[in-house]
Amino acid sequence: MRKTINNILNIIMGSSVGVWIGHALYVCWDYKKHPGLYAAWSAPWYSSILVYGAVALVILAICFLIKLFVRRGIQTSDL
């Protein structure tokens, strides 16, 4: 059971980082190709990268805490 939970959390953590990296690369590429589209925005062009990064950090923190609780729960029940 612990290994299954660990695998699922690893997939979620890797996916969130992958989505953030992919989004950041796409936004950088799109900004280089179409800088005029981003000039009309009141926010900087990289603001969506920061938002995706914050969401990815929250997901990583939650997954890390779940992993920590599962590991400590298993260790205390084995004693």
Query: How many separate helices (H) and strands (E) can be counted in the chain?
Result: 3, 0
pTM attached to this predicted model: 0.82
Q: How far apart are CA 5 and CA 59, in angstroms?
A: 15
Indicate the pLDDT class of residue 1, thresholds 50, 70 and 90.
Answer: confident
Q: What's the full length of the chain, in residues?
A: 79
Q: Confirm if 52 and 20 have CB atoms less than 8 A apart.
A: yes
Mean pLDDT confidence for 67-74: 86
Q: Tens of pLDDT along 2-61?
A: 899 999 999 999 999 999 999 999 999 999 999 998 888 889 999 999 999 999 999 999
